[in-house]
Structure 1
């Protein structure tokens, strides 16, 4: 017969083990949520004091920018915020993501002034989000413009034929399966997709024409997809001035009759500062490799549909 004290100790140890297992699983789940989770941050406790906000858009523009858009819309309604400095260093990205950010900047610009300062590249969708601004500053070597849309349709049917793999697709209509990664693009599908790209391109051209106050035909003559340096873009009317972010801030303060000491506060979507995501990232870095974790987890960008991106 088992010792009652021994049985009690074993039950107590089993409950503790169950508790710590559950806690470990819960911590892991929270960590993964924290890696992808963000919080909206308006840096600086400047409520009631006039200031400018700076929004930085760097890297590939993804298709989901809802949190940043919410911040921009809220800033447009804040009385103490007198204007926005939009810092762009992006080759572009998703057409839908660029359009959504463009519209958010335009809504802000309808209420308060926006000045754009371009970094090394502000092309395609990176240029799209810049055009609602009242003034655009670029460096002489900034690559900008690249007004256009690209849609790619990979086809691996030739490779499948070589390895003896056949894929049958059942579709409700001839255009439903276009494009397909396992079937060649049909002439009708090519025509249909070219029409989609042409319509998205027309929308892009209209955004530039409206934002830069240029005739549509003039914009279309510049919009063959090529990038321009800042020095080339200036006489073409795509940018307003060669200068740095300091020049852009000074221009905006003069326009709003603000003092030189008026602060510029970063407005951005910040990642959670919880220790749990950092711990889990370190663990995943050891298991999977820091390079993979950094590119997929920390800098993952959602891209879908057509792209407005400069691809050198």
Structure 2
């Protein structure tokens, strides 16, 4: 029996070896984690946000533009996000309310103060749909894109003759001669028309100023182009209302060349809509508000292009 470890001694030696192996495993795991952390840190310093998963955001503006607080807040959040390297603004819209276009224009201008913004016009980017492209550092359009329509419009209807033939008369009590104009139940007075034309003229001047600033032109240069007509993408390029013919691939190439954002950078859609709106494809509340304001109130002054009907 001599020369052989006693049973208790052999058990102790085995336990010590197991403890040493566990300690070595812990230290090895810590060394691996430290090495990975160092690589990530070095990659972040060398590549900036892209080294930490940086991406572009794509904002698709489609259909009628209305005042949208959730959207402007989402744009502001993207501007603050260190992982967002820039934005592709994809437009297919005939326009919308003047206030809605102005709010979106200002939110995008604020984004562009911090990060690159490029606009891509698709089928239609007219009126307020053109307005929101003005803050972009570069604007691309298709040859056949319908754009421009720099102007504002207020529509109402007047059915006093129809009501008279039906023997119906509408009574209206107002605090002033211009309150309640336009009104579908009585003709627009000369004073009312002059007042509304003044409102539209001021809004139109604001629109022209946005275009002049965005396109690096003077208001005098923009004015002859701002009579409400639409242009094709090719015409708009000749008039310097857009910068180039192309789509999203050309926009990605421009971001790579001018802002060193690789063409392979991932793109994530910016969508602040709620679940119901995403399912339906539109907001019922915005639709009702648009219809009411279009036909019944001064709030319906819009920057929208529409086919004559």
In the superposition, relative to structure 1, how do residues 202 and 272 fare at CA in structure 2: closer, same or farther (>3 Å)? same
- State the aligned residue count: 250
Confirm whether residue 308 of structure 1 aligns to residue 295 of structure 2.
no
| Aligned counterpart, 1:250 | 253
Map Cα deviations across residues 134-160 of structure 1 (whole Å, 9 max, x no partner). Answer: 000000000000000001121111111
In the superposition, relative to structure 1, how do residues 147 and 157 fare at CA in structure 2: closer, same or farther (>3 Å)? same
SS in 1 for 2:241: coil
Confirm whether residue 53 of structure 1 aligns to residue 57 of structure 2.
yes
In the superposition, relative to structure 1, how do residues 295 and 65 fare at CA in structure 2: closer, same or farther (>3 Å)? closer
SS in 1 for 2:143: coil
SS in 2 for 1:239: coil
**Residue of 274, 282, 307 corresponding to 1:271:** 274
Shift of residue 181, structure 1, vs aligned partner = 1.4
Confirm whether residue 71 of structure 1 aligns to residue 74 of structure 2.
yes
SS in 2 for 1:116: strand
1:18-167, aligned counterparts within 5 Å?
48-62=52-66, 64-167=67-170
Please tell me whether the aligned partners of residues 117 and 136 of structure 1 are also in contact (alpha carbons under 8 angstroms).
Answer: yes
For residues 204 and 134 of structure 2, the distance between their equivalents in structure 1, rounded to whole angstroms, comes to 15
Q: Which moved more, 1:263-272 or 1:113-122?
A: 263-272
In the superposition, relative to structure 1, how do residues 224 and 269 fare at CA in structure 2: closer, same or farther (>3 Å)? same
Higher-helix-fraction structure: 2
Larger radius of gyration: 2
Confirm whether residue 209 of structure 1 aligns to residue 212 of structure 2.
yes
Map Cα deviations across residues 18-50 of structure 1 (whole Å, 9 max, x no partner). Answer: xxxxxxxxxxxxxxxxxxxxxxxxxxxx99421
Map Cα deviations across residues 254-307 of structure 1 (whole Å, 9 max, x no partner). Answer: 222122321111111233279xx98xxxxxxxxxxxxxx888849836424201
For residues 225 and 71 of structure 2, the distance between their equivalents in structure 1, rounded to whole angstroms, comes to 30
SS in 2 for 1:60: strand
Shift of residue 210, structure 1, vs aligned partner = 0.7
In the superposition, relative to structure 1, how do residues 129 and 47 fare at CA in structure 2: closer, same or farther (>3 Å)? farther
| Aligned counterpart, 1:219 | 222
Please tell me whether the aligned partners of residues 89 and 119 of structure 1 are also in contact (alpha carbons under 8 angstroms).
Answer: yes
In the superposition, relative to structure 1, how do residues 244 and 134 fare at CA in structure 2: closer, same or farther (>3 Å)? same
Root mean square deviation of aligned Cα: 2.2
Q: TM-score, normalised by structure 1?
A: 0.76
For residues 248 and 294 of structure 1, the distance between their equivalents in structure 2, rounded to whole angstroms, comes to 26
In the superposition, relative to structure 1, how do residues 152 and 84 fare at CA in structure 2: closer, same or farther (>3 Å)? same
For residues 214 and 132 of structure 1, the distance between their equivalents in structure 2, rounded to whole angstroms, comes to 13
SS in 2 for 1:168: coil
Please tell me whether the aligned partners of residues 61 and 301 of structure 1 are also in contact (alpha carbons under 8 angstroms).
Answer: no
| Aligned counterpart, 1:185 | 188
SS in 2 for 1:252: helix
Answer 1 or 2: higher relative contact order, Cα 8 Å, separation at least 6. 1
Map Cα deviations across residues 102-126 of structure 1 (whole Å, 9 max, x no partner). Answer: 1111111111111000011100000
Structure 1 segments unaligned to the other structure (5+ residues): 1-45, 279-292
